[in-house]
């Protein structure tokens, strides 16, 4: 399940991130790439030891915590401290799958979901699309600044080459309280149905019925034995 989460950050928070980060905060992204990813990764990323990054991480985590859609769809249990990636012209990140385990050696985190939070506006750069590849085929995303997308970590994904401008985004990975993505999707559908019922009749009632019907069928798929 790929979930787009609008308006995680507001305009003031985006402005603060852009004004806070400088070129000195970024290192060669290959330093943290796995054995397979190091050959396809060409970007810059923030230094984990940066004092400025710490305050931005706190702000990002607070923004995610106040976002109802993110919390319902992903049910985060633990989140890896966010970092920022910067792509300048010619930079890209080829097809890869993120690591299953992250965190420090004495405190490992099982990774269920990855997310990208866009900081640059789409008009600020050419290229740089995030391509997520599921069993339904590739999904190309270039979202407005402040919007995020979350997806199962086992999906192949890539960032296409940036042709001009600069692409700045925040990325992180998390362990969910609900390990199975199919079960997370059912929970989300039920929550969306509840929201539509609360909103009243008309089109929202039809949307609620559609979500409930989908949740019922998916629960049958999870539980039924033939």
Q: Whose structure tokens read 């640059």?
A: 120
Tell me how far apart the alpha carbons of residues 221 and 179 are, in angstroms, rounded to a whole number. 17
pLDDT at 149: 98
Please, are residues 34 and 97 in contact by the beta-carbon 8 Å criterion?
A: no
At 144, list the tokens: 């407005």
Buried-state track 114-126, b at ≥16 Cβ within 10 A, e below 16: bbbbbbbeeebbe
Phi, psi (rounded to 5 degrees) for 208:
-60, -45
Three-state secondary structure call for residue 4: strand
Residues 6+ apart with CB under 8 A from 93: 29, 37, 40, 41, 42, 43, 85, 87, 158, 159
Closest CA to 8 of 169, 165, 152: 169
Contacts 24+ apart (CB under 8 A), 155-158: 155/2, 155/97, 155/114, 156/95, 156/96, 156/97, 156/132, 157/95, 157/96, 157/97, 157/114, 157/130, 157/131, 157/132, 157/133, 158/40, 158/92, 158/93, 158/94, 158/95, 158/96, 158/130, 158/131
Please, are residues 25 and 53 in contact by the beta-carbon 8 Å criterion?
A: yes
Q: Which fold has domain 3-176?
A: Jelly Rolls (2.60.120)
At 208, list the tokens: 């609620």
Domain-by-domain residue ranges, the chain? 3-176, 181-223
pLDDT at 152: 95
How do the pLDDT tens digits run along the chain, 226 residues long?
899 999 999 999 999 999 999 888 899 998 877 677 788 999 999 987 777 789 999 999 999 999 999 999 999 999 999 999 999 999 999 999 999 999 888 899 999 999 999 999 999 999 999 999 998 899 999 999 999 999 999 999 999 999 999 999 999 999 998 899 988 988 888 888 887 777 776 777 788 888 888 888 888 888 777 6
Residues 6+ apart with CB under 8 A from 116: 130, 141, 148, 149, 169, 170, 171
């Amino acid at each position: 399940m790929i979930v787009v989460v609008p308006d995680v950050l507001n305009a003031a928070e985006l402005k603060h991130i852009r004004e806070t980060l400088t070129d000195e905060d970024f290192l060669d992204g290959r330093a943290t790439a796995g054995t397979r990813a190091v050959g396809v990764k060409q970007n810059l990323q923030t230094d984990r030891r940066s004092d400025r990054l710490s305050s931005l991480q706190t702000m990002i985590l607070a923004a995610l915590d106040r976002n109802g859609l993110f919390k319902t769809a992903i049910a985060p249990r633990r989140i890896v401290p966010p970092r920022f990636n910067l792509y300048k012209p010619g930079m890209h990140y080829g097809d890869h799958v993120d690591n299953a385990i992250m965190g420090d050696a004495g405190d490992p985190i099982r990774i269920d979901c990855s997310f990208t939070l866009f900081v640059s506006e789409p008009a600020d750069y050419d290229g740089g699309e995030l391509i997520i590849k599921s069993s339904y085929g590739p999904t190309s995303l270039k979202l407005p600044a402040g919007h995020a997308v979350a997806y199962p970590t086992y999906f192949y994904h890539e960032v296409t080459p940036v042709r001009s401008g600069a692409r700045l985004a925040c990325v992180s990975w998390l362990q969910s309280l609900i390990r199975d993505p199919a079960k997370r999707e059912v929970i989300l559908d039920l929550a969306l149905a509840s929201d539509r019922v609360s909103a009243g009749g008309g089109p929202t009632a039809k949307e609620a019925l559609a979500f409930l019907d989908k949740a019922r069928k998916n629960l049958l798929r999870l539980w039924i034995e033939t």
